[in-house]
Structures are given as C-alpha cells and as structure tokens.
Amino acid sequence: MVRSQKIIGASRVFICDEGFCILKDGGVLYESLDYAQSGDLQSAKILAVGDYENLTRTYPNAQKEFWHNGVLLPTLVNAHIHFEFSNNATNFVYGDFGQWLDSVIAKRDDVLSDITKSVSQAIDSQLRSGVGLVGAISSYGYDMEALRKSALRVVYFCEAMGSNPSAIDTLFSNFKARLYQSMEYKNTRFIPAVALHSPYSLHHIYAKYVLQEAKKLQTPISAHFLESQHEQEWLCHGSGYFYNFFAHTFGVPNPKPFYTIQSFLEQFVGMEHVLLTHCLFADKNVLEIMRENAYNIVTCPRSNRLLNNTYLPLEINTKTMPQAHTLLNIALGTDGKSSNADVNILEEMRFMLFAYPHIELNVLATQILQMATRNGAKALGIQGGILEHGYNADMVVFEIPDIEHSCQEALQCILHVKEAKRMIINGREII
C-alpha cells in the first residue's frame, strides 16, 4: 500500500485540544493514501503537529503547502442532520413543537418525494462549509447511497420509529434491512449506527429489539430527547399535546406513554456512544443521570428556536455541577431543513454566538469551536476533531483577512468564515 507524507501549514492552527491551544505559523504532518489502491479500507492519520518551518526541515521529502492568513483546524462536525428532509423550505409550521409535528405528518410525503438533488446539495453544503464528519439521521434509508459515495466521513444512524404494537414485526424487519444494507458499506469513512427516534414515537418493545442490534454491532446510538415541553409533560404526567395526538389523531383508546424519563435513559446504560439531541427540558436530575452515564448532548440552536422557542442552557456544566467531575460533552448540529433554513454549520455557529449574550464573547467562541470539532467527534466515537498525533487526517483551511494581526482568533473565525479553501478527509484532498 502506498502512503506518502504531506505537510500543511497556516498562519494560525487551532489544535482544538482541551485548552484550545492556537499555534502561530503551525503545521501538520499527515499520511496521504493512494486512493486507487486502498480506497477507504485504510485510515490516514496525523503524524506530527508543530512549527511549520521545523516540520519542513525535519521532513524534507514531504510535499508542503502554507496558507497565509489561513486558519487550519480539524474538519468541522455536524453531529445531527437529516439529509432526507433537504427538500423542505416552507412546508412546516414553526413556533410550537405540536404544530410542527402535525405539519410534518400532513406534508411529509410531499417533502420526501424526489430528494436526490436536494440531498446532494446538502452534502455539498457540508463540504463547502468545512464539515468533514456528519451524524446523519436516516428515517428511511433514501440517503444511504448518496452519503456512502460522498467525500464525507459519515456516522449513518438508521432510525427506528413506530408506536403501534401490531406493526412492530414489520417495522423491525424494515429497520434491519436498512441497518444490514448499511453494514455492507461499512469502512473507515462510513460507520453504520442506530437511532431511536424519540421516547414518544417508539414502542418500548420495538426499541428493545433495535437496541439488541446496536449492542451486537457495537454502534453509536442517537435519540431525540426532551425536545419539547409537550414531551416532558407526556412522559411525566401522560397528558397534554401527546395525549391528544395519540387519542385523537391516531385513535388510540386511553393512550399511555411508553416510558418515563428514567426508563428511557436506562435503556442505554453501559453503551459507549450515546447521543441525546436537544435535551431542552432536561432538569438537574435528568442531566445528572446523563452525566453519570457519559451520555452526550447534541444541541441544534436554530431548530430549537423555531420549534421550541428556547436554547440549551450551556451553564449545565458549571452551575448545576460546580464540582465538575466529568462534564457533559456537548456537540453541535444543524438538524435538518425540516427545522432550519439551511444546514450550514458556519451559520449555526454564528447564530449561536448571538444566542447566548450572557456568556463572555471570547469564552463562548472557543466553546462553540470545540463543540463543532472535538466534542462532535467524541460523541460520534470517531478519532477526530483534534489536531494531534494519531488522530484522523481530516483538516480544513479557511482564509480570514488579517487574522495574523488579531488577538481574538476564535471569535473572528466564527464571524468571518464563509467557505473552506482546502479540505482534507482521510488524508485525501477534497477541496
């Protein structure tokens, strides 16, 4: 197998380690694979990180490039996105989760028809915005071919949903067909995984079968969790919007929730990469259970504003747990176009910067960049999101005018980045 070594450098290198170290005129030595020979069966890694001049002197045979007024960082991570809903612009109702869900059920078939072009545009928009790793939630498997053939690194979550006990066998065999199809495609850049849609939309027996598959195959797990006040009321009291949803929309006599908050969380105990998306209505006790079990949170701020009029309080790691033993790992996602105007992670990051005015600006900027790199990769179980020896050779360069003269690099980066100028995924130049 042919592997060569290359060096890429830039005026500023964001390592995205715990302390958010920034190198001036830094560089990364990485493996570059011969794709014709090995494709994605092999993974290309970072070999060394340091001063650009030093690296070029120590490895004189490595091909090299340097970006003036460039920022080099690990490729960004969009930890929660629904590609299948990319056709949507104005079909769904925003402002209340119940109204949104009613509109999804009414208009879903229109939005899901003829998605080939919009899925490919959404993939392009990930790459152009510097995203190298996605947590893709697939409800139907319609996006599988496009994603596995794309240049992205993909954790592909086959989603299970369905509450009618008499349909469980059919639903489960459809789910297994999608999961085993995705297993056929498994390689270093396409990693099959399992999603439970949510506690309100999934029968607990169906969930049990699905989780047995996840355990057997040792996949990451994702679920939408405590996204709305309605969901919280349903799980805690069996009343509210979801009572009417099941009783009237679906004609279920005397409906009852399938879970309590605790019993939903208990299903994942002992599993390694559990991603719970939204968690807007998780109280202190719920967060404590999540922390004890090292579950990850994915937050999608624009989706949360549109559907539920609120944001995840980022203080959950400081205020509720001042002793800060293990912190909750929080990653960032755009959600789908089903609950957002676009799926551009740079727009999501900028939006987030303005959504938390009580957090000091530079502190927040650093936190957002970490959420969109190391935290996302950690949640998805991928050795990426940090520029360090042994991590994936997944990197992006953005050009930012006069960044060399700024002392607020993280903040200016979020404010000004538009498009990736150079992108490397699994040691291969994509852009």
423 neighbors 394 (Cβ within 8 angstroms): no
Q: Which is nearer to ligand MCF, 231 or 394 (CB)?
A: 231
Span interacting with ligand MCF, options 86-94, 309-317, 330-338, 389-397, rule CB under 6 A: 330-338
Q: Per rule CB under 6 A, is residue 159 in the interface with ligand MCF?
A: yes
Q: Per rule CB under 6 A, is residue 139 in the interface with ligand MCF?
A: yes
Q: Which does residue 139 bind out of Fe ion, ligand MCF, none, counting CB within 5 to 8 angstroms by kind?
A: ligand MCF
Query: Of 11, 88, 304, 339, which one interacts with ligand MCF (CB under 6 A)?
Result: 339
**Residues 103-132 interacting with ligand MCF (rule: CB under 6 A):** 104-105
Residue whose CB is nearest to ligand MCF in the complex, by number: 139
**Residues 308-337 interacting with Fe ion (rule: CB under 5 A):** 335
Q: Which is nearer to ligand MCF, 372 or 395 (CB)?
A: 372
CA dihedral 82, 359, 329, 406 (to 10 degrees): 80
Query: Do the bridges between strand 3-14 and strand 22-33 make them parallel or antiparallel, or are there none, so unpaired?
Result: antiparallel
Beta-carbon contacts of residue 140 (< 8 Å; ≥ 6 apart): 84, 112, 178
Closest alpha carbon to 375 in 1, 20, 7: 20
Q: Which is nearer to ligand MCF, 59 or 94 (CB)?
A: 94
Give burial (CB, 10 Å; 0-12/13-18/19+) of 248.
exposed
Span interacting with ligand MCF, options 4-12, 121-129, 333-341, 353-361, rule CB under 6 A: 333-341
423 neighbors 395 (Cβ within 8 angstroms): yes
Strand order through the sheet with 131-138: 76-81, 131-138, 153-160, 190-196, 221-225, 274-278, 296-299, 329-332
Q: Please pick, among 159, 213, 227, 348, the residue that the annotation labels catalytic.
A: 227
Span interacting with ligand MCF, options 149-157, 248-256, 336-344, 398-406, rule CB under 6 A: 336-344
| Catalytic site includes residue 227 | yes
How many residues of this chain bind ligand MCF (CB under 6 A)?
A: 16
Residue type, 67: W
384 neighbors 133 (Cβ within 8 angstroms): yes
Q: Which is nearer to ligand MCF, 157 or 356 (CB)?
A: 157
State in angstroms the smallest separation of the CB of 87 from ligand MCF: 12
**Element (H or E) spanning 179, and its range?**
helix 168-184
Q: Per rule CB under 6 A, is residue 375 in the interface with ligand MCF?
A: no
CA angle at residue 421 from 366 to 410, to 5 degrees? Answer: 15
Residues 65, 32: Cα–Cα separation, whole Å: 14
State in angstroms the smallest separation of the CB of 82 from Fe ion: 6
Query: Do the bridges between strand 422-425 and strand 76-81 make them parallel or antiparallel, or are there none, so unpaired?
Result: unpaired
Q: Which does residue 197 bind out of Fe ion, ligand MCF, none, counting CB within 5 to 8 angstroms by kind?
A: ligand MCF
**Residues 183-242 interacting with ligand MCF (rule: CB under 6 A):** 197, 201, 224, 227
Residues within the interface to ligand MCF (CB under 6 A): 82, 85, 104-105, 137, 139, 159, 197, 201, 224, 227, 303, 335-336, 338-339
| Residues tagged active-site | 227
